[in-house]
Every structure is written in structure tokens, then in C-alpha cells.
Chains A and B, each alone.
Chain A
Amino acid sequence: MDRRIRRLGIGLVVLFALLFAQLSYVQVIAADDIKAQPANARRQIIAEYRVERGPILSADGELLAHSVRNQERRSELLFRRVYPDGPLYAGLTGYYSRIYGRAELEQAANPFLSGDAPELAVSTFTDLILGRERKGGAVFTTIRSDLQEAAALALGDLPGAVVAVEPETGDVLALVANPSYDPNSISSGTDEDITEAWDAISTDPEQPLISRAKDELYLPGSTGKLITASAALENGVDPVTDQWPNPRVLDLPQTTNTLENFGGSLCKGGSQTVSMAEAFQESCNVTFAEIGLDIGAKEMSEQALAYGFCPTDPPTQVECEEPTIPFVLPWANGRFPEPSYFADRQPQLAFSAIGLDNVLTNPLHMALIAAAIANDGVMMQPRLITEVRDPTGKPVREFSEEQYGQPISDESAKEMRAMMLSVTQGGTASSAFAGFPIAVAGKTGTATNGENRPPNAWFTAFAPAGPGDEARIAVAVIVLDGGNLGNEATGGQVSAPIARQVIDAYL
């Protein structure tokens, strides 16, 4: 009988051994796969919200986003995310929603904010050993909160965007877009509140989740002449001595189409010929179309590519999968057609030379182009994060400034600067900058915007831009659908004053 009892014992030990095997399967071998099941989302969220997620700060120490302890009794979620000035920074911070996921910096910097990044392993391990609640790292951005506020104030309620970058470093100083949304409404609250807020925001015809500053593409209009002028200078055109004919209407090759100056006017009072510098100051379409046709499709496309435009072939819709200029946040950088597109489309080349047809860009990219001209032709990558610090304040990761390339020579940059200065001194933006003490180099743009809609008003600039000045800020402004001037809107009237306020606030 004892022998059988002993056998029974062995049998029971075998049964328990099966349990041990199953436990090691569930808890170790297959644990990651099991945890990754979609049905497990709730538990992952609760685990995520146990961490005191690190703050997102501006360069001057303002909190753009931070986590505070949830006061709701018995909530499984220990912390909630707060955006003290939500709508102002929504395009940068994004949101942190337990139902709808993360966006923008909350997504891009998530490993740092959550403490999962290897740089923070020591810190989170210390928390674990000491039994402390885990904290994430602090992300320091390049944003200047006072400039961001000034930009938002200058833009007011107009739909559009303002982007400011530091030419020498590529630091993004301000990035404002209208309309915006309040990330608080989809980041904390009850499930019902969050769902309701999300439905409102995501079905809004204005699409506030898509930032006008960086996610959408627009025709640059005359600000696109920066590309044409750069290409001309790089290909040996002298801005003052080389002359082009000055007709009221330009007959385009291969077609009966024509091209006119803004309002059908004559450039430079109707003189026989006009130089590129003169045409730039007055933003003459006819002249720039002629310049574009003279330079040729290949050179124009190459110049655009050097500025970080994504080469596309509009008829076949081949487009860049990712931005050619790296940025920590998702964004849509500019598009410029490939030379092959222009092969039998000379009129399109003429329109592209004045920022129309299939040339597309957005405010962030325009600001980067202005910054490159300001920075002696050297284009910097846009930088948004400078460093990450652990919860004790010790820097664990620094992000250095990165050069993107040199789209134009130092010499061409100087000539571009002189031409852009003339725009605010007697050119299309002169009324906006009348009496402004700082030398500003800029370019206006008024881009057609579909058949029945008022134009989009552009202005891009950098300052100070006097001879020998080191430019400290480059700005791009877009006001959509004519802003408050409707069909009468021009970049000089609508957008240049906004840029002026932003420059004034910074310098």
C-alpha cells in the first residue's frame, strides 16, 4: 500500500510539474505575446498611467504638458495629463489619450516621457529598487513660450499658421496654427467625456487635428520665387545687370495660354526691360516666368531638391513617403515636380516658377528656406528637442543641431538677402514694415486657392537682415482664404503685419 501511496505522490508531483510548465509558458515564454493582445489594452493603459509621465517644457521653462495625480477616488489611473495652455501648444504636444492613443511630441518623445528609453534605465531601475513610483524623463523643447504667445496673438482668430525658427541652429522657436483644439479634452476625464470630445474634434470640418503649420500643403505663390531666384543665382544670373523683356502679358509656349502680373499690371512702371532684383521687389510674375523658362526644368527641380523639397511626378502621383528634411514630429514637407514632368509642359514650368501649378509647401518649410538664406546658404534641420533630463534633473540625452545641406552658396545667399530686403523697403511689404526699426528681409505671396475661394496670403522673412547682421529669427506666415480681407487679400497686407509683430516680439 505504501508503494502505491508513493506512486500517487509521484503522480501528483507530475501534475504540479505541468502547472509549473504552464506558468513558465504564460508568465515568461509567451508573456510578451500575451501582453501584446489587443484585448489587453486596458491593462497596458493602467500600467502606463501608473508612471508619472515626464513633463514637456518650453526653452524658457514653461510647462507645456505634465502629469498630475488623479484625484478621482479608486481610479485605476494614477495620473492624468494636463496641458496648462492646451490649444496654444496642441500642434506640438499633441494629446495623450487612453482611448485614442498619442500624437505629436507625446508620441515622438514617448520613450523619454514614459521612462522606457534606455537613457532612463538607471533612473527607472532605481525607482524600482527603492519601491518608488516610476517617473518619466523631462523633455526640453526649443519653443519660446513668449514668442509662441506673441505669434498666436498676432494671428488672432484668422485661419492659418505662424512658424518661427532660429536660422543658425534650426531651433523651432514658435509653431502656431489655427484652428487648434484642446488636448486636455481628449487626454483626461471620463471615457464618455473623452469620446464625446474626440467625436467633436475629429468630425470638425476645419480639421483642427491637422496643423496648418506643418501637416498641410499649400501653393506657395510668390514666396515660391525664392526657389526660382535661388536657381537663377546659382546658375549665373546677375540680379541687377541681366535683363528680361517686360510685356503686360506673357504668351506661354506650346499653348495659347497667357500669364499676367498680379492685377494685370506692368512691372516697374512699364519699362522695356526689367532685372531680377527689380522683379523680385515688385513680385513680377511675367519676369519670373521668363526666368524659370530660361533656367530650365532640370535646374529648377535641382534647386528645389536642394531646399529639401520632395521631388514628385504629379501626373502619376508618385510622392515622397517620408519628409526629406527630418523632423521629430510628423510633417509634410514641400513638393516640387520632377524635371520629367516639365518635358512637354513648358507652361507648367512657367507657373511653377511663380509658386503655382504643382509646387506645394507649408509654413514650416518656408521658414526653413528663409532661415537657410539668412544662414549664408546653410540649411539646418528643424530641431524641437534640445535635451532630456531624468526626474532628478540630470541630463541624460542631448540633441545637437544638425545641418541639412547647403542649397545655395554664401554669395547667392547675400544677393538673396539684398533682394529680400528691398521687399520691405519699397517693395510689396513696404507698407507693413513702414517705420519698423529692424531691417527685415522678406518675400510676400498671394496664392490662388481654387476657383471661388479668396487667396492664401503668405509672408516669409528673417531679421535682423541689415548688412553684417546675424539673423536671429526666420518666420513664415500663412493666412488662409484671404483672412479678414477676402478676395482683396495679399501677403503684404495680411501676413506681413503678423510677421512684423512676431519679429518685434523676439528682437
Chain B
Amino acid sequence: MSEVALPAATEARRPVTGLWLLIVAIAISLAAYAMAGLGLKGRTPRDFVVYGLVFTGAFVAGWLVVRWAAPRADPVLYPTATVLAGLGIAMLYRIMVARGESTIAREQAMWLLVGLAAFCLTLWLVRDDRQLNAYTYTLGLIGVVLLLLPVVPGIGREINGARLWAQVGPFSFQPAEFGKIFIVVFLASYLTDKQELLAAGSGRFGLPRAKDLGPLLLAWGASLAVLFLERDMGASLLFFGVFVVMLWIASGRAAYLWLGLVMFAAGAWFGYLAFAHVQARVDTWLYALDPDKVTGLGYFQLAQGWFAMATGGIVGTGLGQGSPTLIPYVGSDFIFAAFGEELGMIGAVALLLLYLILIARGLRIAMERQDTFGKLLATGLTTIFALQTFAIVAGVTRLIPLTGVPLPLVSYGGSSRVATFIMLALLIRVSSGPMERVHG
């Protein structure tokens, strides 16, 4: 099926298209920022010019780094990420100003710059993605350590009932956000090595030997530990999902997919029976609008999210014209509902289409690569990105019980912003191939 050949070694891929898309992305981002101010206060934000210059400068600089470090990169990924990040800041600005916390939007804009810097650094450091293939177990170990870091006494911090935070000195961050990158790279690398073994199945019952499955089971165990010890259903779900998908892609055995689904169902059932916080999540999901329960915090949040989106209707109230601040934690978990209210179903669908564009390009990159590692890495990164987006949007819209994961590039959170940019850099690296070819 890989009829699309790797592009000719030195040929830069459609730089003009990429630049035009970037200009459009920046224009939409800044227009959204201006409109948020207009809708909220009847004037453009006071720092509009400064913000506009910094935003434009930073993202153009990032684009130049891509042109230099990854000239054959996919031209669509970067501008799509730009417009998502820009819309996210505009909405955060709108929410935080309405709450009188305008500095938080500025803080998130700072994190955006840090994320861009991490993006450039990743592109510069990882000159060839196959470098990563050499450190399979090291990367896997780092991933597991990061995942479990919040459990370590003295480092871990519990916020709102989930133990997701690690504090090292003055810095606090969500290690799982970075851990997932390492886990995906580890899985890509490990599965590349063991692909044939896993596909053939030389143990009992036609399944691979325990020795070959060991590290995989360890990764899976770590994701379960996340669920039990950190009470983070979102991350746990994400790891398990990407794990099963990559196993299936690498081995070609659909049995892994079905086995994964059965295990997931069993795990979910067990989790529901054993853990009060899982039961609570399911109960809030089922009875969010129950008159007797609707004032309870979790129920209230889901109900307010629905009210917001229902109020928005098809065309929305307009940026700055709705009341998204009625939703608890609207800037983090529920920012999608704010888009649904103020930009309507049209805006919400447009936002999801942007994510679908990233997903489609990510999978296309995977198919364009000839080597297994590149394919698996691109697939893994794309899958984790897609599942994360699905989990939070489906949770907010009450399609499934809510799992608190950030909406990539959009919702509040420094760790998530930086981690997503690193993933984006890796995906762009995979799409461009090694840097040496250009210079060498």
C-alpha cells in the first residue's frame, strides 16, 4: 500500500504552500484574539500589537527553523498546530479576563513560547529519528519513571483528587505528559525489533513467548499503576490504547486488538467495582442533569458544559459574548465547551477538523515512510494525539465518562503545551527524514 514513495532526497516539499498556510493560521489566531477582546470589552485587547508581533515573530521563527532543520517536512502540520495554539490562547484570554485573571493568558502565551523553543530544540537535537531507535530500553525506562514520578513521596502532588503532579524545586509539572512521548518512542523501537517474533508467535497457544512480551506487559502494568496510584483515568486509557494499537499495527495480528478490547472492558469493569473515583465519574456522566444531583460539582460541570454548547447552537454566541465562565475549570478540561458556546457547532466542528487534519497528515507520514521504526513512531504519536483529543471532547460532550486530559495545544497547562510541541517536532522530523541528507 506504500505507493507513495519517499520524496526525492534533497527536494524541499512545497515551502510556499506551508508559508501561505502559516500566514492564514497567524491571521486567524490574531483575529480570534482581537474578537475575544471586542466581544468581551468592546475593544481590542490592550496588548494586541505586542501580542501580535510576538506571536507572529515566534511562529515565523519556528517555521524558519523547520525550513532549515527539516526542509522536506510536511507543510500542513506546523500551520495547523499554529492556528490551534492561537485559538487556544484567544479563548484562554477571553475566559481569564472574564474572571479577572488576565495574567494567566499571558502565562500560557509564555508557555507557548517555551513549547516552541522545545520544538526547535527537538528538531535540532534529533537530527535523524532513527537515533532514538538505539536507546530502546533507556527511553522505555525514562518513560516508566516519568509516569510513576507523581507517586514518589516528596515529589508527587495531588490536585483535585488526582496525583498527576511532580514538584522538583520551584518547578511543578505533569511528568506523564512527557512520559507518554518516551513510551511511544520505546514502543516504536521495541516493536520494530520484535516485529517478526510478535507476528509469528512462537510460544504456546500461538502467542509470543513471555520473554518477548515482558517489556510490553511492563509498559501496560505502568499504565495500570497510573490508574490505581494516580487516579488518572485519562492517561491510563491513553497509554493502554496506544499500546494496543501499536502492537496491532506492528504485528499485523488483529487478535491483539480484540484481546486489548476485552482486557480494557475487564479492566474498566474491575476499576468501576473497585474504585470510588471511577464510580463517581460514571455516575456524573449518567446523571449529570438529574435534578437531585445537578448541583454536585462533577454533575454541575458536565451540565454546565452541555448548557454552554446548547446555548451556542449552530452559529454560537460569538467570541466573548457567551458565558463559558459558568463552567467550573473551563480553561483546562472544559475549554472545548467554551468553543461550542461561543463559536457554535460550526466552530466546534471546525476545531475538530483541524485535529483531524493533524491526524490524517500524521498517518500519511507513517505511510510515506519505508522503514518500520518511522512508520510505528509516526503512527504512535498520531494515535496518542487522536485518542487524547477524542477522550476529552467525548468526555465534555458526555459521549463517554469524563477523563481529565488536556485538549492538545488548546487547553490550559504548561506541561501539555510543551509536550505536544515536542511530539509535533518528532512527527515533523519523521516526515522530513534525517537532517544530514540536506547538508551532507
Residues of A within 8 A of B (CB): 1-6, 8-9, 12-13, 15-16, 18-20, 22-24, 26-28, 30-32, 34-35, 37-40, 42-43, 46-47, 50, 74, 76, 131
Q: What does DSSP make chain B's interface, helix, strand, loop or mixed?
A: helix
Q: Would you list 23 pairs from A and B whose C-beta atoms are within 8 A, ordered by A residue?
A: A1-B252, A2-B367, A4-B249, A5-B367, A5-B379, A6-B1, A8-B363, A8-B383, A15-B386, A16-B352, A19-B390, A19-B394, A22-B399, A23-B349, A26-B306, A26-B397, A27-B309, A27-B313, A34-B289, A35-B310, A37-B294, A46-B323, A74-B98
- Pick out which of these stretches binds chain A: B79-87, B168-176, B340-348: B340-348
Q: Which residue of A lies closest to B327 (CB)?
A: A43
A28:B345 contact, CB within 8 angstroms: yes
B375:A23 contact, CB within 8 angstroms: no
Residues in A with CB closer than 8 Å to B289 are 34, 37, 39
Task: Knowing A1-B252, A8-B383, A28-B345 are in contact, say whether A38-B309 is a contact too (CB < 8 A).
Answer: no
In the assembled complex, B426 has its CB within 8 A of some CB on chain A = no
Kindly state the separation between the CA atoms of A299 and B313 in the bound complex, as whole angstroms.
60
9 new A-B contacts at CB < 8 Å, known A26-B306, A28-B314: A5-B363, A6-B367, A16-B390, A18-B399, A19-B394, A24-B345, A37-B289, A37-B307, A43-B323
Which residues of B183-210 have CB atoms within 8 Å of chain A's CB atoms?
none
B72–chain A nearest beta-carbon distance, Å: 20
Kindly state the separation between the CA atoms of A32 and B245 in the bound complex, as whole angstroms.
39
**Contact residue range for chain B?**
35 or more
In the assembled complex, B61 has its CB within 8 A of some CB on chain A = no
Q: Which residue of B lies closest to A18 (CB)?
A: B399
Task: Knowing A16-B390, A18-B394, A35-B310 are in contact, say whether A76-B323 is a contact too (CB < 8 A).
Answer: yes
Q: Which residue of A lies closest to B305 (CB)?
A: A26
B349:A20 contact, CB within 8 angstroms: yes
Pick the residue among B2, B311, B340 that contacts A2 (CB under 8 A).
B2
Pick the residue among B1, B326, B367 that contacts A43 (CB under 8 A).
B326
Residues in A with CB closer than 8 Å to B435 are none
Pick the residue among A6, A27, A30, A76 that contacts B312 (CB under 8 A).
A27
Residues in B with CB closer than 8 Å to A47 are 311, 323
A22:B398 contact, CB within 8 angstroms: yes
B399–chain A nearest beta-carbon distance, Å: 5
Kindly state the separation between the CA atoms of A32 and B314 in the bound complex, as whole angstroms.
12
Task: Knowing A2-B1, A5-B367, A23-B349 are in contact, say whether A35-B314 is a contact too (CB < 8 A).
Answer: no
A38:B291 contact, CB within 8 angstroms: yes
Most buried by A among B310, B360, B399: B310
Pick the residue among B306, B325, B355 that contacts A34 (CB under 8 A).
B306
Residues in B with CB closer than 8 Å to A76 are 323, 325
B390:A27 contact, CB within 8 angstroms: no
Task: Knowing A19-B393, A27-B313, A38-B291 are in contact, say whether A1-B352 is a contact too (CB < 8 A).
Answer: no
B310:A27 contact, CB within 8 angstroms: yes
Closest 7 CB pairs of A and B: A2-B1, A34-B310, A27-B345, A31-B310, A39-B294, A22-B399, A40-B307
Q: Which residue of A lies closest to B337 (CB)?
A: A26
Kindly state the separation between the CA atoms of A46 and B314 in the bound complex, as whole angstroms.
19
Kindly state the separation between the CA atoms of A421 and B77 in the bound complex, as whole angstroms.
93
Q: Which residue of A lies closest to B295 (CB)?
A: A39
Kindly state the separation between the CA atoms of A369 and B328 in the bound complex, as whole angstroms.
59
A5:B307 contact, CB within 8 angstroms: no
Residues in A with CB closer than 8 Å to B98 are 74
A410–chain B nearest beta-carbon distance, Å: 58
Q: Which residue of B lies closest to A40 (CB)?
A: B307
Most buried by B among A1, A15, A40: A1
In the assembled complex, B440 has its CB within 8 A of some CB on chain A = no
In the assembled complex, B137 has its CB within 8 A of some CB on chain A = no
Residues in A with CB closer than 8 Å to B304 are 43
